[in-house]
Amino acid sequence: MSDLQRLRELGASMRVLCVEDDDAVRRELHDFLARFFERVDLAENGEAGLERYREERYDIVLSDINMPRMNGIEMSRAILAERPDQPIVVLSAYNEQEYLMQLINSGIQHYVLKPIDTTQLAGLLCTIAEARRNRQLTEAHYARLEQDTVKLQQRIRAKAEKLQAQQHTDSLTGLPNLQSLTEALKSIAEEQRDFVALLLIDIDHLQYVNELYGSDSGDRVLVQFANFLQMYAEGKRYSTYRVAGDRFVLMERAPYLDTEKYEMELELFLDKLRALKVRFHDDELPVGIDVTIGISFGQEKPFEHANMALRYAKERKKQFAVYNTLIDTTEKIKKDLNWKERIREAILDDRVVPVYHPIVDQRGDIVKYEALMRIVETREKQPHFISPLFFLDTAIFSKQYTSLSSNMVGKVFETARESDHVFTVNLSFDDISNKDFQRSLLEQITAKGLGSQIILEITESEAITDYTIFNEFVKKARRLGIRIAIDDFGSGYSNFKYILDLQPDYVKIDGSLIKHIDTDPQSLVLTRAITRFCHELGITVIAEYVHSEMVFNILRSFGVDEFQGFYFYEPMEHI
């Protein structure tokens, strides 16, 4: 079914407001939209459009930007302030960065250039209409499930009353105990209908209370915390349990999982907990209770999975963690042990090697090479290069990363010494903060006279935890003639102040922006803004992930200096 046919079907019950100051364009839009939508209302400027919107309310608003009395952006901001989820499509002949940034900052997600391509507009409107229909179906489904949940809640309460026998109750707090929880989970599993949301809560450092104030004070903490859990769960669908000395459970069974609801309730739980204080002696200040929480959602092994999440949170000093397959230590241990041995053998057998990915200028001529780490393994008598994506985490965890990095960098420097090419080498903050690695790196560059041939690429991310160490390293490197590049700029933590502080020689724009630049206006706007900003500071801009001639031409059109990607070359074993 074509977009036009689908739009005619979906728009039959929808109302559209079209705001346009040009009479001819307004009439044309009305005639086009009236073919699909139940009702199409018109307004000649933003002020009239806002007034009409407040009177009627519409499923879709289409608006020009430049209009008298109130422009389209001002009108859209007023509409979104009242109804943040209102779909708005901006129609404009302007494709300037200033306008696009205003739209992005205003929360407007849809933009169509004039002269209007009706096929493109129909496709966009069809997407919006489909989202509206799906939302309506979801809301109706949610209402039915809410009714079912009420019935299930009644059954849960009836069973809970039968489980209050002494063998199912914790003698100190009066809460159901581990046996009670085990039977409840077993019952849910046998029915094979409901999901379980389970929060396993561990009171931090309870042993300190026992040591400082005695076990009676520790018991007082447990009782007060149990009362707090019961008060929190009152009126909600949670069951409360004490499953071990300092461990408690909040558990809910539900026919489906609404993760947004659980996020909100967890935040509420932690807010209320901060207000809970325990006083051990009259002359001492009250003390708060700190907890660590492991959370699981699902039907299989909810308690075991929550326990894995709790252990994960404690190891990483997080307040809570939600179970997922990456946390499941069973498979992770197997993979880690396997990769640990494979890495060890690769280092012993000298199979850690660099490959070289060319970087070209605007003419397509190679100007430098990025050195990338690989482990070589033989498969079916052919060499197979394995990316760090598969083994880097294990290498760091097993303390083999420094050996890998040293092997790889040493080989890059040997290649550089035998040629006049320029090479870029990726460094992490772990590399920089390792004094032995840092010293060896700079000594090798000095001894071999490679300063002018080496560019150090440093990932722009939140992983840098000590800027004093980082800045001192950069100063030492620059004294040797080494140039500095920021890698993956725009990947999620981009900070323009970071560029101003570091003043790098190069900025490499992350592939997440480049790969969609030919289809995503936001990626284009952000990439162009980064390029302009860097050029004003005299910084060379490199774009990675260039995968087509169209992407190359777009980047070249607004002045990107250098390019890297499979459109030009794949990584090479030899150069």
Q: Which domain covers residue 78, as residue numbers? A: 3-135
Whether 309 maps to a domain, the answer reads yes
Which phi and psi angles does 3 have, rounded to 5°? -60, -40
**Residue 491: predicted pLDDT:** 67
Whether 156 maps to a domain, the answer reads no
**Residue 172: predicted pLDDT:** 92
pTM: 0.48
List CB contacts of 450: < 8 A, sequence separation 6 or more: 413, 416, 417, 444
**Residue 508: predicted pLDDT:** 93
CA 193 vs. chain centroid, Å, equals 31
Helices (H), 349-400: 392-397
Whether 150 maps to a domain, the answer reads no
Show which of 324, 351, 375 is a domain's final residue.
324
Q: What is the DSSP string of 530-561?
A: HHHHHHHTT-EEEE----SHHHHHHHHHTT--
Show which of 259, 291, 324 is a domain's final residue.
324
CATH number at residue 453: 3.20.20.450
Whether 157 maps to a domain, the answer reads no
One domain for residues 338 and 320: no
Whether the CB-CB separation of 434 and 405 falls below 8 Å is answered with no
One domain for residues 223 and 313: yes
**Residue 506: predicted pLDDT:** 95
One domain for residues 338 and 312: no
Question: Number of structural domains, the chain?
Answer: 3
One domain for residues 556 and 469: yes
One domain for residues 184 and 209: yes
**Residue 396: predicted pLDDT:** 81
One domain for residues 291 and 383: no
The first and second tokens of residue 539, run together, are 């910084």
Whether 153 maps to a domain, the answer reads no
**Residue 214: predicted pLDDT:** 82
Whether 572 maps to a domain, the answer reads no
Which SS3 state, helix, strand or coil, does residue 278 take?
strand
Distance CA 275, CA 292 (A): 16
- pLDDT in tens for each of the 575 residues of the chain? 677 888 888 888 899 999 999 999 999 999 999 999 999 999 999 999 999 999 988 999 999 988 998 998 899 999 999 999 899 998 887 665 666 677 777 788 888 888 888 888 888 899 898 888 898 888 888 888 888 888 888 787 766 565 555 678 898 999 999 999 999 999 888 888 888 999 999 999 888 888 777 888 888 889 999 999 999 998 888 999 999 989 999 999 888 878 778 888 888 999 999 888 887 766 567 778 899 999 998 878 899 999 999 999 998 889 999 888 766 666 667 788 888 999 999 999 999 999 999 999 999 999 999 999 999 988 767 888 898 888 888 888 788 888 888 899 999 999 999 999 999 999 888 888 888 889 999 999 999 999 999 999 987 554 666 778 888 898 999 999 999 998 888 765 556 776 777 789 999 998 889 998 999 999 999 999 999 999 999 999 999 999 999 999 999 999 999 999 999 999 998 88
Show which of 89, 120, 135 is a domain's final residue.
135
